[in-house]
Structure 1
Amino acid sequence: MADSIRDQFPLLGTCVYLNNNSTGAVPKGVESVLSDYWETLRTWRDGVWEGWHDGLDEYLGALAAFIGAPPGSVAVDANLSTLLARIASCFDYRAPRNRVVTTDLEFPTVPFIWKAFRRYGAEVDVVGTGGPHLDEDELLRRVDERTLIVSVPHASFSSGATVDLERLVEHAHSVGALVVVDAFQTVGVMPLDVTALGVDFVLGGAHKWMCGVGTAFLYVRPGLLPGLEPAATGWQAGDRALTFQPSAGYAADARRFTGGTPFPLTALISRVGLELLSGVGIEAIRAHSLVCTERIIAHATEAGIPVVSPVEPHRRGGVVCLDVPDGEAVKYRLAARDMICSWRTYLRIGPHVYNTLDEIDEFMAALVAVTR
């Protein structure tokens, strides 16, 4: 599996890179994109925007296909924070349906944004876990007829524990609530079919498992689009944006969630990695990921290192988190040996489709050595 595309990623020749849950490797095909971009800047003509918009549209189409979304239901922007704030700005937070239910396993941007909307009447209910895994039964108990939005991660950035989205979406919809999913930690390494799930909003991005840089995406369930009018907006969200005439209303499709003038380079770069992953196929990527993470767990168990992430394959994302004493220092000791991972409360090890089992064996041997 890894050998088929491994030579496309120069970074892998410099180290054992198992930090894909934080920042994924970028393929060498990006070099030509950067060269073309510089040539465009060097010989500037306004007409380049037509080609850039075509490139953005092609990236949107590829993204939609990758997550099982219909055309016109995906928008991109600089980061997840921008897109989540646009979702939040669509709603009138009047009681009794003004509750936003979220969890304490979110990446910090998520609760920060929802708490900012308390000034408009949002009542934020953070479901605690008492540990690195989500208490899904308690989450469902807190989602009732007063709930406007349920905002959850597909997998926790701090433990890799996944959420049963099918069960959550079914319950939330039964009481009239909408579901926002942060899939940044899973898209590109776990299958995600947004249409089959019936989920309302999905957010993700390119710079982790999708082998891109600096761009995030938002999927919106098509049936919701006509009733959503983001207050945090920009001229590209209008129905006549590219005519450069005043728009009468919002674009009919997910472009209504875009903002001002786009920066096309990051999408053009990110499309290269997306095409490689699409060529492999997400089911094959997931199968390889599970084999790799199982190998990490086996090594850790043998060495007596506590495993924080779920050991059950169906509840485990692409990362294995280990409870290593002085973990941040351990991360730096490993980096000195060209063994790259990350640390966020726990040591996080995230192999991807281009990593080999030999690399994992080498990395785990080094981990045992530096912790002793």
Structure 2
Amino acid sequence: MLKGKRVLVSADCFPSLHFLLTGLAGKMGFTLHTVPLSEGKPWVEADDFLAAWGRDVGLALLTWVTSTASARIDLEPLVAHGREMGSMIGVDITQAAGLIPFDATNPKVDFVVSTSLKWMCGTPGAGILHVDKTLALELEPEGRGWFSQNNPFSWDLDKFEYSPDIRRFDSGTPGSVAALASLPALKWHSEQNHSDLAAWNRKLVDRIIKRADALNLPLHSPRDAEKRGGSVMLRFPDKPEASAVVGALGVEGYSVDFRGPLMRLSPGNVTEEATIDTVFDIAEQTINRRRRRYAGRGDQMRVTTQGEEISMTPSGILGALGEMLLSGEVKVVDCTATLGPNTPILRLPKDFAKNTPKVEIHKISEYDADGPFFAWNWMKLGEHSGTHFDAPHHWISGKDFEDGYTDTMDMQRIIAPVNVIDCSAESAKDPDFLLTPEHVKAWEAQHGEINPGEWVVMRTDWDKRSHDEELFLNDDPDPYEDGSHSPGPTTECIDYLLSKGIVGWGSQCIGTDAGMAGKFSPPYPAHNYLHRDNCFGLASLANLDQLPPKGAILMAAPLKIEQGTGSPIRALALVPHA
């Protein structure tokens, strides 16, 4: 039926459909034609499909509501054109089934498919298939089994006969668990007024759009409710901002989704109207904090001296700082571990990655025949050795930032106030201690809010172990256990801190993540999320016990290595003298 013909599908169909059709094309002899989006358009429109639809199209698989924009396509002109072209027409209703009524007979289509998920509220593994009764008898499924027969218990090998109804599309023993697990959802649907469900969803989506408009977040879905599904997509300036908002909402228990710079919201029957405002209040706070991270703070600041508030220009502030450094009112704390052959170096599983070599220092001369008046050395070391800086390009999530290397990054950002969260007692008691958002919020309640553009570091006093590499790394003794026992942040903690607009996160351990963070979801969230947001990481910091919780300035400048992913640093903190 399809051999030698084209099969039409839209570029914004659900990817699984495209994967399936791509695999079937060679086997069944058809050409898969993917209808592209028109330039500047966020979804494939009916006119795009019509322009590609000729008499050589054997099948058109239409996506009723898209997963990428929640755009609902106008089926009537498409079905009418398809009938004129003599094509078979199928419709995927996955993104709307269970919320928006669908009539397979008006306009009449040949078959309809859907998952049991989304608005259907079912479980993975089940689904929906409707095939026109007349057409069903003409079709022979590619795969068949004992349940494809009218009598599943017919064991005569030479007398297989397809069932005369929809059951012919069954095959082997059904996966009854998924079907049974979806029954409560079907029962619930049978008891609902779906007009009320749709009206409630529309009311909530209207509220979402109103709040998004107030934040100047462009709509990536149709504004007209009749051309939209039950979800709504909002476009952020970039992926890091979208992910930061999603992360901040997740910390507070709100589940939304994002794809690149798009955030997807799908308010259902259990969503309360007040929840929409709470979600957008959190989003607005997160956006403002993040954007202030890069904003200038003006050419004049107010400071307090001897109880009197005065205005000072930046030059005046720097002059005063210079005097305080010279007088000792502000002291410099070295937050750097000694770098040398005994410096602990991260060890990765041999079958996973290549390891950084140990630090080597080689003498060139020392007032001898190779240099009679001078002493100098050459070194061999990795970028991420000792007290070091992780640039965004260090991790795959930050690979696309042009300013993500040590030679292209904005150095204005790396000198900033530092918040020191003391977890030394907890880490001494439990080397696998994990810092959570609740810990951070309790710290903020005591010491003050973490502000945009600031550093946050976790004091564990782990640097006291640095004299012994085995003690410092604290690898698990089980050779089959990948990971080490060292403290760090939870995924939710990093999400929360990024929602505050921090510039970066620092640890006194070998890396920015907890030792067992490879088992987290996603793995290594500090690396994954920090660099996804174009933020920085600091590892193997020292002497954090000499810093106050607030009030110090941290300077963590990496070497300007060409396309460097990181660098050993001399981390220095300016601390008011007690």
**In structure 1, how many angstroms separate the alpha carbons of the residues matched to 2:118 and 2:72?**
17
Which residue of the partner structure matches residue 146 of structure 2? 235
**In structure 1, how many angstroms separate the alpha carbons of the residues matched to 2:77 and 2:153?**
41
Name the CA shift for 1:295/1:245 in 2 (closer, same or farther; >3 Å). farther
Which residue of the partner structure matches residue 53 of structure 2? 143
Name the CA shift for 1:244/1:355 in 2 (closer, same or farther; >3 Å). farther
Match runs of 1:185-204 below 5 Å: 185-204=95-114
Deviation at 1:180, TM superposition (A): 1.5
| Aligned mate of 1:267, from 179, 182, 196 | 179
Which residue of the partner structure matches residue 115 of structure 2? 205
2:277 counterpart letter in structure 1? D
**In structure 2, how many angstroms separate the alpha carbons of the residues matched to 1:139 and 1:344?**
25
Residue 344, structure 1, aligned to residue 259, structure 2: yes
| Aligned mate of 1:121, from 19, 25, 29 | 29
Which deviates further from its counterpart, 237-246 or 362-371?
237-246
| Aligned mate of 1:306, from 218, 225, 228 | 218
Which residue of the partner structure matches residue 368 of structure 1? 284
Which residue of the partner structure matches residue 441 of structure 2? none
TM-score with structure 2 length normalisation? Answer: 0.47
Deviation at 1:297, TM superposition (A): 0.5
The structure with the larger Rg is 2
Which residue of the partner structure matches residue 319 of structure 1? 231
2:180 counterpart letter in structure 1? L
Match runs of 1:329-340 below 5 Å: 329-340=244-255
Contact 1:127 1:138 in 2 (8 A): yes
Contact 1:191 1:286 in 2 (8 A): no
Deviation at 1:244, TM superposition (A): 4.7
Deviation at 1:107, TM superposition (A): 1.0
Which residue of the partner structure matches residue 289 of structure 1? 201
Match runs of 1:79-158 below 5 Å: 91-94=1-4, 98-119=5-26, 120-129=28-37, 130=39, 131-158=41-68
2:7 counterpart letter in structure 1? V
**In structure 2, how many angstroms separate the alpha carbons of the residues matched to 1:252 and 1:318?**
36
Which residue of the partner structure matches residue 248 of structure 1? 160
Deviation at 1:281, TM superposition (A): 2.5
Contact 2:115 2:128 in 1 (8 A): yes
Higher RCO by CA contacts (8 Å cutoff, separation 6 or greater): 1
**In structure 1, how many angstroms separate the alpha carbons of the residues matched to 2:189 and 2:277?**
24
Deviation at 1:369, TM superposition (A): 1.7
Secondary structure at the aligned position of 1:195 is classed as coil
**In structure 2, how many angstroms separate the alpha carbons of the residues matched to 1:222 and 1:344?**
39
1:227 counterpart letter in structure 2? E
Which residue of the partner structure matches residue 478 of structure 2? none
> Relative to total residues, which structure has the larger strand share, 1 or 2?
2
**Once the two structures are superposed, what CA deviation does each residue of 1:15-72 show, in whole Å capped at 9, x if it has no partner?**
xxxxxxxxxxxxxxxxxxxxxxxxxxxxxxxxxxxxxxxxxxxxxxxxxxxxxxxxxx
Deviation at 1:314, TM superposition (A): 0.5
> Relative to total residues, which structure has the larger helix share, 1 or 2?
1
2:265 counterpart letter in structure 1? I
Aligned length: 279
Secondary structure at the aligned position of 1:265 is classed as helix
Name the CA shift for 1:330/1:219 in 2 (closer, same or farther; >3 Å). same
Deviation at 1:363, TM superposition (A): 1.4
Contact 1:305 1:322 in 2 (8 A): yes
**In structure 2, how many angstroms separate the alpha carbons of the residues matched to 1:245 and 1:293?**
56
Deviation at 1:147, TM superposition (A): 0.7
**In structure 2, how many angstroms separate the alpha carbons of the residues matched to 1:368 and 1:181?**
38
**In structure 2, how many angstroms separate the alpha carbons of the residues matched to 1:276 and 1:362?**
28
**Once the two structures are superposed, what CA deviation does each residue of 1:293-317 show, in whole Å capped at 9, x if it has no partner?**
1110011001111110111010110
Contact 1:240 1:248 in 2 (8 A): no
**In structure 1, how many angstroms separate the alpha carbons of the residues matched to 2:117 and 2:25?**
30
**In structure 1, how many angstroms separate the alpha carbons of the residues matched to 2:186 and 2:281?**
32
**In structure 1, how many angstroms separate the alpha carbons of the residues matched to 2:109 and 2:197?**
23
Which deviates further from its counterpart, 236-245 or 328-337?
236-245
Residue 356, structure 1, aligned to residue 283, structure 2: no
Secondary structure at the aligned position of 1:322 is classed as strand
| Aligned mate of 2:69, from 159, 172, 175 | 159
Deviation at 1:342, TM superposition (A): 0.9
**In structure 2, how many angstroms separate the alpha carbons of the residues matched to 1:200 and 1:218?**
11
1:143 counterpart letter in structure 2? W
Deviation at 1:175, TM superposition (A): 1.2
Which residue of the partner structure matches residue 63 of structure 1? none
**In structure 1, how many angstroms separate the alpha carbons of the residues matched to 2:222 and 2:276?**
18
**Once the two structures are superposed, what CA deviation does each residue of 1:132-184 show, in whole Å capped at 9, x if it has no partner?**
22221121121121110111211110110111122211211121111111111
Which residue of the partner structure matches residue 136 of structure 2? 225
Deviation at 1:205, TM superposition (A): 1.6
2:150 counterpart letter in structure 1? D
Secondary structure at the aligned position of 1:280 is classed as coil
1:219 counterpart letter in structure 2? H
Contact 2:248 2:282 in 1 (8 A): no
Aligned-residue sequence identity (percent) comes to 27
**In structure 1, how many angstroms separate the alpha carbons of the residues matched to 2:263 and 2:193?**
28
**In structure 2, how many angstroms separate the alpha carbons of the residues matched to 1:206 and 1:124?**
26
**In structure 2, how many angstroms separate the alpha carbons of the residues matched to 1:216 and 1:144?**
31
Which deviates further from its counterpart, 326-335 or 310-319?
326-335
**In structure 1, how many angstroms separate the alpha carbons of the residues matched to 2:91 and 2:18?**
13
Runs of 4+ residues over 6 Å off in structure 1: none
TM-score with structure 1 length normalisation? Answer: 0.72
